[in-house]
Structure 1
Amino acid sequence: MSSKTSLTLLLVNIFLAMLGIGLIIPVLPEFLKEFDAGGQAAGYLVSAFGLTQFMFSPIAGEWSDKYGRKPMIVIGLSLFALSNLLAAVAGDLTILFVSRLIGGIGSAALIPSIMAYLADITTDEQRGRGMTLLGAAMSSGFIIGPGVGGLLAEFGIRAPFFASAGIGLVAMLCSLVLLPESLSPEQRLRRRQSKDKRESVFRQLALSFKSKYFILLFIVFALTFGLTHFEAIFPLFVVQRYGFTTRDIAILIMVCSLLGTVNQLVLSGWLTRRFGEKAIVDYTLLLSAVALVLMLLSGNFFYVLIIMMLFFTFNNIMRPTLNTLLSKQAGEDQGFVAGMNNAYMSLGNIFGPALAGILFDVHMNLPYLFGAFVLFVSFLIAFKYIRK
């Protein structure tokens, strides 16, 4: 099977996974009402996902190097489907938290393996384009998901969760049947026989502080921290402050994600050629911080739509650019570095939503102000160090 066909299958799989995630976003405020849960519980639910994602990402990255990308992709999609099925039948918050913990493990297996697979089948020259397409596939799933989720909610508040589980199962079957393994048997055997043992995730994090790509990993954390400050409490924020409905939320996320993805595809290549990858990282951090603050200035639907579109555009451009820079420095350890990338992203997913939920219950504006502060400090650090 050609690398182009394999890339297409990867993009389809990540699209389906993100479609399943996007389905449930518009119904979260109503769903949490069934459990009498507020901003703090919403934040902790997102953090639970990030916790297991963090713990298992380096392990999954190493296993994808030793046993192959395909098995980890299949396992990740299977756990993703199981997670959403548990959420659909959850009768209390405990089961809901269990479903999120399982979902985090699935993400840890899936995302680093897909990124490493992409690195396996592309050259350095092709990798930037490949990462952009991967980001576009993720964003596209996120675009369509909320709209479909809003429609499915007409059949019941849990219908989007059942649909998400079914989509995850379809993606898993597609990978199992159609996706070839990108690593040769010799490569996998050599890595399994290697006597070099990797450290625990905490030891790896300590060692990463001294690595040549630590600043890039820190920016991955900061970007995720700021993004989860936006996402974790966005449905609750616009419902409680601006009186938006489930339909409003679905439309906002669909339209803004679509525009953000189109802008990413149109602008990413030109911006990279014109300014370079490092400058893109610098200034999208700054502009993302500004967008978070601007979210607080008006509850006009079209104003919120424009600010969200800009925020998604900045994030959509920055994420694949960071992934490309990291991948270029990874050498043969693509699975390991992708795992560390996911581990830092997981840390952002742990601390960002938990703190956002706590701050939201203090004052609903605080998550956006603090998220903007973190992104601005990251811009200053990146501006000073990343160009070295």
Structure 2
Amino acid sequence: MNGNIESKEHISRRLGISASFVIFMTTFIDMIGFGMIIPILPFHPETVGAGALALGILIGSFSLMQFIFSPLLGRISDKVGRRPIIILSLFFSAISFVIFGLADSFPLLLISRITAGMATESAVAQAYISDITTEKERSKGMGKVGAAHGAGFIIGPAIGGFLSVYGLSTLGFVAAALTLVNLLFAFFFLPESNSKANFNIQTNSDGYWRRLGSALTKPLIGAVFLILFVTTFAFSAIPVIVPLLGIAYFGFMELEMSYFFMYIGVVQILLQGILIGRLAKRWGEANLIVFSSLIMTLGILYMSLFSNIFVFITSLTMISAGIGILNTVLPSFISTRTPPDEQGGMLGVTQSVGSIARIPGPLVGGLVAEFAGLNVAFILSASLVLIGFILGFKLLRAHKFGEQ
């Protein structure tokens, strides 16, 4: 059993609504709020006035907080349960949007992004899915959560682009109200999934981190984390350098930038919601990890070499598909190789590896684009993903990481 309340495949229904539906909807609505804000950041007066580096700082600070809080919240959810952590995260997420709505200076804008990063609940949501699915169904379950992310990224930017004409304060307050509705939905309908949750459970922090350290020294986990780090580092520059390219070469404004993020969501929901389960069954998770690195490399490289709108869309499709596969398969790949009572913590560490990469990624992307040019920034990102592909391919094959 995997720490779920009733069975591996199903959890009890509360008021006729399944737990899987509630966690998918909670993730979906949470990503709507996130998607409303992100496309508008390059156009915020405090960002425009401070330059590309400021945009990198805003995005990087969010990832820094994710790095700090994701494993902490994941481990706490192993101890006290998934439900209270998800609800608490939604509460602080609402606060971050209120601060965004009130922000009339760069420090306040930065505080809003820091608070949003502290409110990360992705690792806990993934652990929730691990609780209520079998190993065979886990990729499919993670794919549905990824699809919820993608769907939120379709709706969120659309709402954000529309509301931006009414002012950024309105945008922030609407996102906060939506998040509060999400909090109430989770509060009334989301059951606990972790039967081993116990407030009085004795936790040995040192022993826990020793166990995690031991897992990370295994070639399998190390290889996967290496791929995760370099590809995430490269992809984290995309929200900085791609909008800059869109503004410079295509004249994108808030609405067009929202379409750009919407398209990422469309690609990911089609991939993660429909195809990823079938692909994982046919080709295996290890092969999909390597394949995602390859198509990301090609997509980033093409975008830098051929700056026209057709290649822009094609490249964006490849990049979105690559990161979508990676973000879906990696948590499933790692969770199936982790003891059930450590999955929340390990998935938190997995997210933190990505968060570490996302801290310098936006800063480096912005600096390189500003001082060396956009083409150099794209080529640098493609080179990083290529390194991950080559090293990951060799490590996966050398240690027989393919699905048995």
State which of 79, 102, 111 in structure 2 corresponds to 1:98: 111
1:312 aligns with 2:325: no
State which of 363, 368, 378 in structure 2 corresponds to 1:368: 378
Work out the CA distance in 2 between the residues paired with 1:219 and 1:93.
Answer: 34
Which residue of structure 2 lines up, in the alignment, with residue 253 of structure 1? 261
Residue 386 of structure 1: SS of its match in structure 2? helix
Shifted more, 111-120 versus 293-302: the winner is 293-302
Which residue of structure 2 lines up, in the alignment, with residue 379 of structure 1? 389
Which residue of structure 1 lines up, in the alignment, with residue 85 of structure 2? 72
State which of 312, 337, 359 in structure 2 corresponds to 1:329: 337
Residue 40 of structure 1: SS of its match in structure 2? helix
Residue 32 of structure 2: SS of its match in structure 1? helix
- Any stretches of 5+ residues in structure 1 without a counterpart? none
Length-normalised TM-score, structure 1: 0.92
Which residue of structure 1 lines up, in the alignment, with residue 348 of structure 2? 339
Work out the CA distance in 1 between the residues paired with 2:164 and 2:232.
Answer: 28
- Once the 2 structures are TM-superposed, how far is the Cα of residue 27 of structure 1 from its aligned partner? 2.1
Which residue of structure 1 lines up, in the alignment, with residue 157 of structure 2? 146
Residue 390 of structure 2: SS of its match in structure 1? helix
State which of 167, 170, 188 in structure 1 corresponds to 2:181: 170
- Once the 2 structures are TM-superposed, how far is the Cα of residue 102 of structure 1 from its aligned partner? 1.1
Residues 146 and 273 in structure 2, CA contact (< 8 A), matched pair in contact too: no
Distance 1:53-1:35 versus aligned 2 partners, 3 A rule: same
Residue 188 of structure 1: SS of its match in structure 2? coil
Q: Which amino acid aligns with 2:23?
A: L
Length-normalised TM-score, structure 2: 0.88
Shifted more, 143-152 versus 6-15: the winner is 143-152
State which of 353, 365, 373 in structure 2 corresponds to 1:356: 365
- Once the 2 structures are TM-superposed, how far is the Cα of residue 354 of structure 1 from its aligned partner? 1.7
- 1:272-313 Cα distance to aligned partner (Å, 9 max, x none): 233221111111101101101111234433332222122112
Which residue of structure 1 lines up, in the alignment, with residue 59 of structure 2? 46
Work out the CA distance in 2 between the residues paired with 1:285 and 1:250.
Answer: 26
State which of 117, 122, 126 in structure 1 corresponds to 2:137: 126
Residue 191 of structure 2: SS of its match in structure 1? coil
Work out the CA distance in 2 between the residues paired with 1:41 and 1:34.
Answer: 6
Work out the CA distance in 1 between the residues paired with 2:75 and 2:222.
Answer: 19
Shifted more, 252-261 versus 334-343: the winner is 252-261
Q: Which amino acid aligns with 1:378?
A: G
- Once the 2 structures are TM-superposed, how far is the Cα of residue 122 of structure 1 from its aligned partner? 0.9
Which residue of structure 2 lines up, in the alignment, with residue 210 of structure 1? 217
State which of 103, 124, 129 in structure 2 corresponds to 1:113: 124
Work out the CA distance in 1 between the residues paired with 2:261 and 2:47.
Answer: 23
Shifted more, 210-219 versus 130-139: the winner is 210-219
Residues 112 and 342 in structure 1, CA contact (< 8 A), matched pair in contact too: yes
Which residue of structure 2 lines up, in the alignment, with residue 137 of structure 1? 148
Work out the CA distance in 2 between the residues paired with 1:205 and 1:327.
Answer: 13
